[in-house]
Amino acid sequence: MHLSDSGDGAQSRKFKKKVHGLRREILRFTKDLIGIATENPPGAKYSECIEFISARLKDFGLRTRIIKISSHGDRAHRRYCLLSSYGKGKKKLYFHAHYDVVPGTDAKHFKPYIRGNKLYGRGAADMKGGLAAMVYAVRAVQLLNAELDGQICLVIVPDEETGGKAGSGHLFERGYIKKEDGIGMLMPEPTSGTIWNACRGALSLSVKIRGKPVHVVLHKDGVNAFEQMVSLSAALLKYKKTVERRKTKYAVLPGESRNSILMLGGLCQCGTNFNVVPGVCKFTIERRINPEENFARQKRRLLAIFDRFRQTGMKIDLEILQEGESAGVSPDSALARVLVRSVGDVTGQRPRFNMCPGLLEIRYYLQNGIPAYAYGPGLLAKAHNPDEFVQVERMIDCASVYGLTALRLLAGKDGS
Protein backbone atom coordinates (compact mmCIF):
# COMPACT_ATOMS: atom_id res chain seq x y z
CA MET A 1 0.00 0.00 0.00
CA HIS A 2 1.47 3.30 -1.06
CA LEU A 3 -0.01 6.10 0.96
CA SER A 4 2.81 8.30 2.12
CA ASP A 5 1.94 11.10 -0.28
CA SER A 6 -1.78 10.96 0.26
CA GLY A 7 -1.59 11.55 3.98
CA ASP A 8 -3.04 10.12 7.13
CA GLY A 9 -6.67 10.73 6.32
CA ALA A 10 -6.47 8.76 3.09
CA GLN A 11 -4.66 5.93 4.81
CA SER A 12 -7.26 5.56 7.51
CA ARG A 13 -10.17 5.90 5.04
CA LYS A 14 -8.71 3.22 2.82
CA PHE A 15 -8.11 0.92 5.76
CA LYS A 16 -11.57 1.45 7.24
CA LYS A 17 -13.11 0.64 3.89
CA LYS A 18 -11.21 -2.61 3.70
CA VAL A 19 -12.34 -3.57 7.22
CA HIS A 20 -15.95 -2.67 6.44
CA GLY A 21 -15.79 -5.05 3.51
CA LEU A 22 -14.98 -7.82 5.99
CA ARG A 23 -17.80 -6.95 8.35
CA ARG A 24 -20.05 -9.97 7.70
CA GLU A 25 -17.10 -12.32 8.00
CA ILE A 26 -16.00 -10.71 11.27
CA LEU A 27 -19.47 -11.10 12.77
CA ARG A 28 -19.79 -14.72 11.65
CA PHE A 29 -16.35 -15.52 13.05
CA THR A 30 -17.16 -13.89 16.40
CA LYS A 31 -20.45 -15.75 16.69
CA ASP A 32 -18.77 -19.05 15.90
CA LEU A 33 -16.12 -18.31 18.55
CA ILE A 34 -18.77 -17.53 21.17
CA GLY A 35 -20.55 -20.76 20.24
CA ILE A 36 -17.50 -22.72 21.45
CA ALA A 37 -18.06 -22.61 25.21
CA THR A 38 -14.48 -22.16 26.43
CA GLU A 39 -15.57 -21.81 30.03
CA ASN A 40 -12.79 -21.31 32.54
CA PRO A 41 -12.85 -22.84 35.04
CA PRO A 42 -12.53 -25.64 34.13
CA GLY A 43 -10.96 -24.79 30.74
CA ALA A 44 -13.51 -26.44 28.45
CA LYS A 45 -13.36 -26.87 24.67
CA TYR A 46 -9.92 -25.30 24.42
CA SER A 47 -8.67 -27.64 21.72
CA GLU A 48 -11.79 -27.12 19.60
CA CYS A 49 -11.46 -23.34 19.89
CA ILE A 50 -7.76 -23.17 19.13
CA GLU A 51 -8.20 -25.46 16.09
CA PHE A 52 -11.00 -23.23 14.86
CA ILE A 53 -8.90 -20.07 15.11
CA SER A 54 -5.90 -21.79 13.60
CA ALA A 55 -7.97 -23.04 10.64
CA ARG A 56 -9.13 -19.50 9.93
CA LEU A 57 -5.59 -18.13 9.96
CA LYS A 58 -4.47 -20.96 7.68
CA ASP A 59 -7.30 -20.07 5.30
CA PHE A 60 -5.69 -16.64 5.12
CA GLY A 61 -2.40 -18.34 4.22
CA LEU A 62 -0.72 -17.46 7.52
CA ARG A 63 1.65 -19.75 9.38
CA THR A 64 0.32 -20.96 12.72
CA ARG A 65 1.86 -22.82 15.59
CA ILE A 66 -0.18 -24.48 18.34
CA ILE A 67 1.65 -24.97 21.60
CA LYS A 68 0.27 -27.74 23.78
CA ILE A 69 0.96 -27.24 27.47
CA SER A 70 1.13 -30.73 28.91
CA SER A 71 2.00 -29.59 32.41
CA HIS A 72 -1.46 -28.07 32.99
CA GLY A 73 -4.92 -29.59 32.97
CA ASP A 74 -5.91 -33.25 32.65
CA ARG A 75 -6.35 -34.89 29.26
CA ALA A 76 -9.82 -33.39 28.81
CA HIS A 77 -8.66 -29.93 29.81
CA ARG A 78 -5.33 -29.42 28.08
CA ARG A 79 -4.13 -25.86 27.60
CA TYR A 80 -3.15 -24.57 24.15
CA CYS A 81 -1.60 -21.33 22.91
CA LEU A 82 -1.50 -20.24 19.31
CA LEU A 83 1.18 -18.15 17.63
CA SER A 84 0.90 -16.71 14.16
CA SER A 85 2.36 -13.78 12.28
CA TYR A 86 2.15 -11.60 9.23
CA GLY A 87 5.08 -9.75 7.74
CA LYS A 88 8.84 -10.13 7.81
CA GLY A 89 11.62 -8.59 9.78
CA LYS A 90 12.98 -8.30 13.25
CA LYS A 91 10.52 -5.90 14.85
CA LYS A 92 7.51 -7.55 16.41
CA LEU A 93 4.25 -5.92 17.36
CA TYR A 94 2.17 -8.34 19.41
CA PHE A 95 -1.60 -8.62 19.12
CA HIS A 96 -2.44 -10.55 22.26
CA ALA A 97 -5.85 -12.01 23.10
CA HIS A 98 -7.30 -14.68 25.38
CA TYR A 99 -9.97 -17.14 24.22
CA ASP A 100 -11.18 -18.42 27.59
CA VAL A 101 -14.34 -16.93 29.09
CA VAL A 102 -15.85 -16.95 32.56
CA PRO A 103 -18.54 -19.64 32.91
CA GLY A 104 -21.99 -18.92 31.52
CA THR A 105 -24.96 -19.05 33.84
CA ASP A 106 -27.38 -20.09 31.10
CA ALA A 107 -26.98 -22.29 28.01
CA LYS A 108 -28.17 -19.37 25.88
CA HIS A 109 -24.92 -17.53 26.64
CA PHE A 110 -23.29 -19.73 24.04
CA LYS A 111 -25.96 -19.15 21.41
CA PRO A 112 -24.91 -15.71 20.23
CA TYR A 113 -27.35 -13.37 18.54
CA ILE A 114 -27.45 -9.81 17.25
CA ARG A 115 -30.11 -7.40 18.39
CA GLY A 116 -29.95 -3.86 17.11
CA ASN A 117 -26.30 -2.93 17.08
CA LYS A 118 -25.28 -5.38 19.79
CA LEU A 119 -23.86 -8.85 19.59
CA TYR A 120 -24.83 -10.83 22.69
CA GLY A 121 -23.10 -13.86 24.18
CA ARG A 122 -20.58 -14.97 26.77
CA GLY A 123 -17.21 -13.53 25.84
CA ALA A 124 -18.61 -10.98 23.36
CA ALA A 125 -16.95 -8.19 25.37
CA ASP A 126 -14.32 -10.22 27.22
CA MET A 127 -12.86 -10.84 24.72
CA LYS A 128 -13.91 -12.85 21.70
CA GLY A 129 -15.23 -9.72 19.97
CA GLY A 130 -11.80 -8.14 20.45
CA LEU A 131 -9.99 -11.30 19.42
CA ALA A 132 -11.96 -11.36 16.16
CA ALA A 133 -11.16 -7.67 15.60
CA MET A 134 -7.45 -8.44 15.93
CA VAL A 135 -7.57 -11.46 13.61
CA TYR A 136 -9.38 -9.39 10.97
CA ALA A 137 -7.10 -6.40 11.45
CA VAL A 138 -4.29 -8.69 10.33
CA ARG A 139 -6.46 -9.94 7.47
CA ALA A 140 -7.12 -6.39 6.26
CA VAL A 141 -3.41 -5.52 6.39
CA GLN A 142 -2.71 -8.67 4.39
CA LEU A 143 -5.41 -7.95 1.78
CA LEU A 144 -3.92 -4.50 1.25
CA ASN A 145 -0.58 -6.14 0.54
CA ALA A 146 1.09 -3.84 3.00
CA GLU A 147 4.87 -4.07 3.10
CA LEU A 148 5.79 -4.04 6.75
CA ASP A 149 9.16 -3.44 8.30
CA GLY A 150 8.54 -6.12 10.88
CA GLN A 151 5.80 -8.52 11.92
CA ILE A 152 2.40 -8.44 13.51
CA CYS A 153 2.45 -11.43 15.85
CA LEU A 154 -0.83 -12.90 17.00
CA VAL A 155 -0.59 -14.44 20.46
CA ILE A 156 -3.77 -16.31 21.41
CA VAL A 157 -3.82 -17.65 24.95
CA PRO A 158 -6.04 -19.57 27.40
CA ASP A 159 -6.49 -19.18 31.14
CA GLU A 160 -6.43 -15.39 31.44
CA GLU A 161 -9.50 -15.56 33.65
CA THR A 162 -7.64 -17.72 36.16
CA GLY A 163 -4.27 -15.96 36.33
CA GLY A 164 -2.61 -16.81 33.01
CA LYS A 165 0.00 -19.24 34.33
CA ALA A 166 -0.76 -21.89 31.71
CA GLY A 167 -1.14 -19.31 28.96
CA SER A 168 0.91 -16.13 28.89
CA GLY A 169 2.98 -17.27 31.87
CA HIS A 170 4.06 -20.37 29.96
CA LEU A 171 4.95 -18.45 26.79
CA PHE A 172 7.27 -16.09 28.65
CA GLU A 173 8.74 -18.78 30.89
CA ARG A 174 9.68 -20.88 27.85
CA GLY A 175 11.00 -17.95 25.84
CA TYR A 176 8.39 -17.99 23.06
CA ILE A 177 8.14 -14.24 23.49
CA LYS A 178 11.42 -12.47 23.89
CA LYS A 179 12.26 -9.03 25.04
CA GLU A 180 14.70 -8.14 22.26
CA ASP A 181 12.45 -7.83 19.25
CA GLY A 182 9.19 -6.78 20.86
CA ILE A 183 8.36 -3.18 20.04
CA GLY A 184 4.94 -3.31 21.64
CA MET A 185 1.79 -5.20 22.51
CA LEU A 186 -1.90 -4.45 22.18
CA MET A 187 -4.70 -6.44 23.77
CA PRO A 188 -8.46 -6.09 23.30
CA GLU A 189 -9.77 -6.21 26.88
CA PRO A 190 -13.10 -4.38 27.33
CA THR A 191 -11.71 -0.94 28.13
CA SER A 192 -14.90 1.06 27.54
CA GLY A 193 -13.25 3.39 25.03
CA THR A 194 -10.23 4.25 27.17
CA ILE A 195 -6.70 2.85 27.00
CA TRP A 196 -5.39 0.91 29.99
CA ASN A 197 -1.70 1.54 30.55
CA ALA A 198 -1.48 0.13 34.06
CA CYS A 199 -3.03 -2.44 36.33
CA ARG A 200 -3.05 -3.16 40.02
CA GLY A 201 -1.44 -6.34 41.23
CA ALA A 202 -3.45 -8.80 43.26
CA LEU A 203 -2.62 -11.11 46.12
CA SER A 204 -5.56 -13.10 47.45
CA LEU A 205 -5.03 -15.19 50.56
CA SER A 206 -7.14 -17.66 52.42
CA VAL A 207 -6.25 -17.74 56.12
CA LYS A 208 -7.16 -20.65 58.37
CA ILE A 209 -6.63 -20.46 62.11
CA ARG A 210 -6.69 -23.79 63.85
CA GLY A 211 -7.80 -23.76 67.49
CA LYS A 212 -9.27 -26.50 69.65
CA PRO A 213 -13.03 -26.99 69.83
CA VAL A 214 -14.60 -27.90 73.21
CA HIS A 215 -17.98 -27.34 74.83
CA VAL A 216 -18.34 -23.85 76.25
CA VAL A 217 -18.38 -25.07 79.87
CA LEU A 218 -14.94 -26.56 79.28
CA HIS A 219 -13.69 -23.48 77.43
CA LYS A 220 -10.49 -23.31 79.45
CA ASP A 221 -9.35 -26.54 77.74
CA GLY A 222 -10.11 -25.19 74.28
CA VAL A 223 -8.37 -22.77 71.94
CA ASN A 224 -10.75 -20.19 70.50
CA ALA A 225 -9.90 -19.69 66.83
CA PHE A 226 -12.33 -16.77 66.50
CA GLU A 227 -10.77 -14.79 69.34
CA GLN A 228 -7.33 -15.46 67.83
CA MET A 229 -8.63 -14.18 64.51
CA VAL A 230 -9.76 -10.96 66.22
CA SER A 231 -6.27 -10.22 67.52
CA LEU A 232 -4.68 -11.13 64.19
CA SER A 233 -7.20 -8.91 62.40
CA ALA A 234 -6.35 -5.99 64.68
CA ALA A 235 -2.74 -6.17 63.46
CA LEU A 236 -3.92 -6.46 59.85
CA LEU A 237 -6.23 -3.46 60.25
CA LYS A 238 -3.33 -1.42 61.62
CA TYR A 239 -1.28 -2.40 58.56
CA LYS A 240 -4.27 -1.57 56.34
CA LYS A 241 -4.05 2.07 57.50
CA THR A 242 -0.43 2.31 56.35
CA VAL A 243 -1.13 0.58 53.04
CA GLU A 244 -4.21 2.57 52.14
CA ARG A 245 -2.46 5.91 52.54
CA ARG A 246 -0.49 5.20 49.36
CA LYS A 247 -1.90 6.60 46.14
CA THR A 248 -1.09 5.75 42.55
CA LYS A 249 -0.18 8.46 40.07
CA TYR A 250 -2.02 6.60 37.29
CA ALA A 251 -5.44 7.91 36.31
CA VAL A 252 -8.41 5.90 37.55
CA LEU A 253 -12.03 5.97 36.48
CA PRO A 254 -14.44 8.30 38.28
CA GLY A 255 -15.62 6.72 41.51
CA GLU A 256 -12.53 4.55 41.82
CA SER A 257 -9.88 5.15 44.42
CA ARG A 258 -6.20 5.81 43.78
CA ASN A 259 -5.36 4.28 47.12
CA SER A 260 -3.74 0.92 47.53
CA ILE A 261 -6.09 -1.72 48.93
CA LEU A 262 -6.12 -4.23 51.79
CA MET A 263 -9.53 -5.78 52.35
CA LEU A 264 -10.39 -8.35 55.02
CA GLY A 265 -13.17 -10.88 55.21
CA GLY A 266 -14.46 -11.23 51.66
CA LEU A 267 -15.17 -14.77 52.78
CA CYS A 268 -15.44 -15.61 56.46
CA GLN A 269 -16.37 -18.86 58.16
CA CYS A 270 -16.13 -19.82 61.79
CA GLY A 271 -17.29 -22.28 64.42
CA THR A 272 -19.92 -25.01 64.50
CA ASN A 273 -22.43 -23.86 67.11
CA PHE A 274 -23.09 -21.04 69.60
CA ASN A 275 -22.20 -23.18 72.58
CA VAL A 276 -18.95 -24.63 71.25
CA VAL A 277 -15.55 -22.93 71.36
CA PRO A 278 -14.75 -22.42 67.64
CA GLY A 279 -11.99 -24.75 66.56
CA VAL A 280 -11.47 -23.26 63.12
CA CYS A 281 -11.76 -19.75 61.78
CA LYS A 282 -11.23 -19.07 58.07
CA PHE A 283 -11.22 -15.75 56.29
CA THR A 284 -9.82 -14.22 53.14
CA ILE A 285 -7.57 -11.23 52.56
CA GLU A 286 -7.50 -9.26 49.36
CA ARG A 287 -4.45 -7.11 48.71
CA ARG A 288 -4.53 -4.92 45.58
CA ILE A 289 -1.13 -3.42 44.92
CA ASN A 290 -0.53 -0.17 43.05
CA PRO A 291 1.91 -0.11 40.12
CA GLU A 292 4.33 2.03 42.15
CA GLU A 293 4.55 -0.54 44.93
CA ASN A 294 6.98 -3.44 44.71
CA PHE A 295 4.92 -6.63 44.58
CA ALA A 296 7.50 -8.93 46.17
CA ARG A 297 8.20 -6.51 49.01
CA GLN A 298 4.49 -5.98 49.68
CA LYS A 299 3.90 -9.71 49.72
CA ARG A 300 6.78 -10.24 52.18
CA ARG A 301 5.48 -7.52 54.50
CA LEU A 302 2.01 -8.97 54.61
CA LEU A 303 3.23 -12.52 55.17
CA ALA A 304 5.55 -11.30 57.96
CA ILE A 305 2.48 -10.39 60.02
CA PHE A 306 1.38 -14.03 60.03
CA ASP A 307 4.86 -15.16 60.98
CA ARG A 308 4.78 -12.84 63.99
CA PHE A 309 1.57 -14.47 65.24
CA ARG A 310 2.85 -17.96 64.49
CA GLN A 311 5.74 -17.24 66.83
CA THR A 312 3.22 -16.66 69.63
CA GLY A 313 1.89 -20.18 69.05
CA MET A 314 -1.03 -19.39 66.76
CA LYS A 315 -1.62 -22.15 64.23
CA ILE A 316 -2.13 -20.48 60.87
CA ASP A 317 -2.44 -22.12 57.45
CA LEU A 318 -2.16 -19.85 54.44
CA GLU A 319 -3.27 -20.56 50.93
CA ILE A 320 -2.56 -18.21 48.04
CA LEU A 321 -5.74 -18.10 45.96
CA GLN A 322 -4.28 -15.86 43.26
CA GLU A 323 -1.33 -13.62 42.73
CA GLY A 324 -0.31 -11.35 39.91
CA GLU A 325 2.00 -8.39 39.75
CA SER A 326 1.05 -4.81 39.17
CA ALA A 327 2.42 -3.02 36.12
CA GLY A 328 2.36 0.34 34.42
CA VAL A 329 3.77 2.08 31.36
CA SER A 330 4.01 5.65 30.17
CA PRO A 331 1.21 7.02 27.98
CA ASP A 332 3.93 8.58 25.87
CA SER A 333 5.73 5.68 24.16
CA ALA A 334 5.89 5.47 20.34
CA LEU A 335 3.19 2.79 20.39
CA ALA A 336 0.94 4.82 22.69
CA ARG A 337 1.20 7.88 20.44
CA VAL A 338 0.41 5.88 17.30
CA LEU A 339 -2.48 4.15 19.07
CA VAL A 340 -3.98 7.47 20.19
CA ARG A 341 -3.64 8.86 16.67
CA SER A 342 -5.29 5.80 15.14
CA VAL A 343 -8.16 5.84 17.64
CA GLY A 344 -8.64 9.52 16.81
CA ASP A 345 -8.66 8.88 13.05
CA VAL A 346 -11.14 6.01 13.32
CA THR A 347 -13.52 7.24 16.02
CA GLY A 348 -12.96 11.00 16.04
CA GLN A 349 -12.24 10.82 19.75
CA ARG A 350 -9.14 11.21 21.83
CA PRO A 351 -8.93 8.31 24.26
CA ARG A 352 -7.93 8.76 27.89
CA PHE A 353 -5.40 6.60 29.68
CA ASN A 354 -6.54 4.75 32.80
CA MET A 355 -5.39 2.14 35.23
CA CYS A 356 -7.31 -1.13 34.89
CA PRO A 357 -9.01 -1.96 38.19
CA GLY A 358 -8.17 -5.66 37.85
CA LEU A 359 -5.21 -7.81 36.84
CA LEU A 360 -4.12 -7.43 33.25
CA GLU A 361 -1.83 -9.48 31.04
CA ILE A 362 0.06 -6.40 29.92
CA ARG A 363 2.09 -7.19 33.03
CA TYR A 364 3.86 -10.13 31.35
CA TYR A 365 5.08 -7.89 28.53
CA LEU A 366 5.94 -4.89 30.73
CA GLN A 367 8.05 -7.10 32.99
CA ASN A 368 10.01 -7.95 29.85
CA GLY A 369 10.43 -4.36 28.77
CA ILE A 370 7.82 -4.45 25.97
CA PRO A 371 5.40 -1.49 26.09
CA ALA A 372 1.88 -2.92 26.36
CA TYR A 373 -1.60 -1.42 26.28
CA ALA A 374 -5.17 -2.62 26.39
CA TYR A 375 -7.78 -1.08 24.13
CA GLY A 376 -10.85 -3.06 23.16
CA PRO A 377 -14.40 -2.84 21.85
CA GLY A 378 -16.28 -4.04 24.94
CA LEU A 379 -17.60 -2.24 27.96
CA LEU A 380 -16.05 -3.21 31.27
CA ALA A 381 -19.48 -3.12 32.93
CA LYS A 382 -20.69 -5.85 30.55
CA ALA A 383 -17.74 -8.22 30.97
CA HIS A 384 -18.64 -11.32 33.03
CA ASN A 385 -22.26 -10.09 33.02
CA PRO A 386 -25.34 -12.26 32.30
CA ASP A 387 -26.28 -9.92 29.42
CA GLU A 388 -22.76 -9.56 28.05
CA PHE A 389 -22.61 -7.92 24.64
CA VAL A 390 -20.29 -6.01 22.35
CA GLN A 391 -21.36 -3.19 20.06
CA VAL A 392 -20.86 -4.28 16.49
CA GLU A 393 -19.58 -0.89 15.30
CA ARG A 394 -17.02 -0.80 18.10
CA MET A 395 -15.65 -4.15 16.97
CA ILE A 396 -15.32 -2.94 13.42
CA ASP A 397 -13.71 0.30 14.61
CA CYS A 398 -11.25 -1.60 16.75
CA ALA A 399 -10.20 -3.80 13.84
CA SER A 400 -9.37 -0.55 11.99
CA VAL A 401 -7.56 0.90 15.00
CA TYR A 402 -5.38 -2.22 15.43
CA GLY A 403 -4.55 -2.47 11.75
CA LEU A 404 -3.73 1.20 11.34
CA THR A 405 -1.59 1.17 14.47
CA ALA A 406 0.39 -1.75 13.07
CA LEU A 407 0.77 -0.13 9.62
CA ARG A 408 2.05 3.08 11.14
CA LEU A 409 4.34 1.52 13.69
CA LEU A 410 5.81 -0.96 11.22
CA ALA A 411 5.79 1.39 8.23
CA GLY A 412 7.92 -0.07 5.48
CA LYS A 413 10.42 1.81 3.37
CA ASP A 414 7.75 2.85 0.91
CA GLY A 415 5.81 4.54 3.72
CA SER A 416 3.03 1.98 3.67
Q: How far is the CB of 379 from Zn ion (least distance, A)?
A: 12
Task: Write the DSSP symbol of residue 258.
Answer: -
CA atoms within 13 A on the CB side of 177: 36
Q: How far is the CB of 357 from Zn ion (least distance, A)?
A: 13
Q: How far is the CB of 200 from Zn ion (least distance, A)?
A: 15
Find the binding residues for Zn ion in span 129-188 (CB under 5 A): none
Residue pair 193/349 in contact by the 8 Å Cβ criterion: yes
**Which of 337, 349, 356, 353 has the alpha carbon at shortest distance from 405?**
337
Find the binding residues for Zn ion in span 27-56 (CB under 5 A): none
Q: How far is the CB of 126 from Zn ion (least distance, A)?
A: 4
Question: Distance between CA 68 and CA 84 in Å, rounded?
Answer: 15
Nearer to Zn ion, 126 or 147 (CB): 126
* Stretch near Zn ion under the rule CB under 5 A, chosen from 14-22, 119-127, 178-186, 204-212: 119-127
- Segments of 124-191 assigned E as strands: 150-157, 182-187
Residues 6 or more apart in contact with residue 207 via CB below 8 angstroms: 229, 232, 282, 283, 284, 285, 306, 316, 317, 318
Residue, CB closest to Zn ion: 126
Nearer to Zn ion, 126 or 388 (CB): 126
Helices (H), ranges, 144-286: 170-173, 225-243
Q: How far is the CB of 397 from Zn ion (least distance, A)?
A: 19
Quick one: which of 62, 127, 144, 366 contacts Zn ion (CB under 5 A)?
Answer: 127
Q: Residues 328-367: x/- map of binding to Zn ion (CB under 5 A)?
A: ----------------------------------------
Which run of H or E residues covers position 389? strand 389-391
First to last CA, the chain: 5
**Which of 136, 144, 122 has the alpha carbon at shortest distance from 53?**
136
Nearer to Zn ion, 154 or 225 (CB): 154
Nearer to Zn ion, 126 or 293 (CB): 126
Q: How far is the CB of 388 from Zn ion (least distance, A)?
A: 11
Rounded to 5 degrees, what are φ and ψ at 113? -150, 160
Rounded to 5 degrees, what are φ and ψ at 282? -120, 140
Q: How far is the CB of 411 from Zn ion (least distance, A)?
A: 30
Q: How far is the CB of 130 from Zn ion (least distance, A)?
A: 8
* Stretch near Zn ion under the rule CB under 5 A, chosen from 116-124, 189-197, 282-290, 366-374: 189-197
Could you say whether residue 397 binds Zn ion (CB under 5 A)? no
The site that binds Zn ion (CB under 5 A) totals a number of residues, namely 3
* Amino acid symbol at 385: N
Could you say whether residue 125 binds Zn ion (CB under 5 A)? no
Nearer to Zn ion, 187 or 346 (CB): 187
Q: How far is the CB of 189 from Zn ion (least distance, A)?
A: 5
Which run of H or E residues covers position 61? none
Phi-psi label, residue 16: left if phi above 0, alpha if psi -120 to 50, beta otherwise: alpha
Nearer to Zn ion, 44 or 236 (CB): 44
Could you say whether residue 126 binds Zn ion (CB under 5 A)? yes
> Cα–Cα–Cα angle for 331, 296, 171, nearest 5°?
65
Nearer to Zn ion, 102 or 229 (CB): 102
Nearer to Zn ion, 100 or 293 (CB): 100
CA atoms within 13 A on the CB side of 223: 13
Residue pair 202/343 in contact by the 8 Å Cβ criterion: no
Nearer to Zn ion, 127 or 137 (CB): 127
Contacting residues toward Zn ion, per CB under 5 A: 126-127, 189
